[in-house]
């Protein structure tokens, strides 16, 4: 996470066992990466108390995402209120080409859902590497 520039960024190499077709990452894996990155944008301004969940995700696959090749997953917030946020997340090749893009509506979860996370909270962390 990079609060100074207002984005979440991860560099990943998807192993071949995450393929949908040989050499091409499965769309479900790409959707999961975009979802996780978008959700983490809600944490840029604070701690885990700000965690939101995905309420809606519009996903466009622009071109195949290769396996075995470094890609960047980048997300940022467009707009935020106390209970909702709009975020964008992209998967990009090293030359900046966008292979997939998601527009995501995030929402604060109901109190009973957030309370159920209490046992897991000691294990939550953000890897700054």
Tens digit of each residue's pLDDT (9 = 90 or more) over 65-106: 999 999 999 999 999 998 999 999 999 999 999 999 999 999
pLDDT at 125 over 70: no
- How much is the pTM? 0.89
Average pLDDT over residues 29-45: 92
3-state secondary structure of 52: coil
Domains of the chain (ranges; CATH) run 7-123 (3.10.129.10)
């Amino acid at each position: 996470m990079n609060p100074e520039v207002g984005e979440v960024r991860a560099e990943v190499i998807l192993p071949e066992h995450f393929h949908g077709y040989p050499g091409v990452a499965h769309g479900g894996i790409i959707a999961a990466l975009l979802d996780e990155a978008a959700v983490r944008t809600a944490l840029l301004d604070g701690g885990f108390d700000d965690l939101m969940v995905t309420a809606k995700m519009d996903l466009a696959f622009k071109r195949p995402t290769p396996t075995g090749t470094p890609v960047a997953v980048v997300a940022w917030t467009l707009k935020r209120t106390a209970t909702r946020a709009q975020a964008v997340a992209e998967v990009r090749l090293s030359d900046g080409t966008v292979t997939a893009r998601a527009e995501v509506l995030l929402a604060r979860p109901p109190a009973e859902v957030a309370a159920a996370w209490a046992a897991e909270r000691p294990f939550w962390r953000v890897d700054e590497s």
